[in-house]
Amino acid sequence: MLRYIREKKAQAALEYIVMITIIVMAIFIFQKYILRGMAGKWKTTGDSFGYGRQYDPKRTLECKFDYIYTDSWYSVERFEANDCFSVCGKATSQPATCRQCIESSQIEECNE
């Protein structure tokens, strides 16, 4: 009887070793697919912060992209000079007035 129990323990240990080996091999085989999936998630998350717009060194510091009203670039300096913060920043602001303010802040340098 004791011999029978010892044989089963060895068989169970062997089964565990085979199972762990198969899992480790599967991870090594699918390593590229797992890394590509993770990189894709990182890219999707990063794009959601930039609203799908890439960094442009000519426009990013001087110009800003409006993704809500006009879907175009506008000048931050002219936006501040026109006092558009008071127009667009209020909870009771109208979308039409904010759109007009942003359109008046657009310059050709930002749209190049």
pLDDT at 32: 93
Residue by residue, DSSP assigns 52-75 as TPPP-TTTTTTEEEETTTT-EEEE
pLDDT in tens, the chain (112 residues): 456 555 666 678 888 999 999 999 999 999 999 999 999 998 888 777 766 566 666 666 677 877 777 878 888 888 888 778 777 776 667 778 888 888 888 887 776 6
**pLDDT for 39:** 93
Pick the closest to residue 63 from 44, 72, 98 (CA basis): 72
For residue 9, give the 3-state DSSP assignment.
Answer: helix
Cα(24)–Cα(98) distance, integer angstroms: 57
Question: What's the confidence (pLDDT) of residue 54?
Answer: 64
- pLDDT recorded at residue 29: 94
Q: How crowded is residue 30: how many other Cβ atoms within 10 Å of its Cβ?
A: 11
Q: What is the pTM of this model?
A: 0.44
> What are the structure tokens assigned to 83, written together?
């006092």
Whole-angstrom Cα distance, residue 41 to residue 35?
A: 10
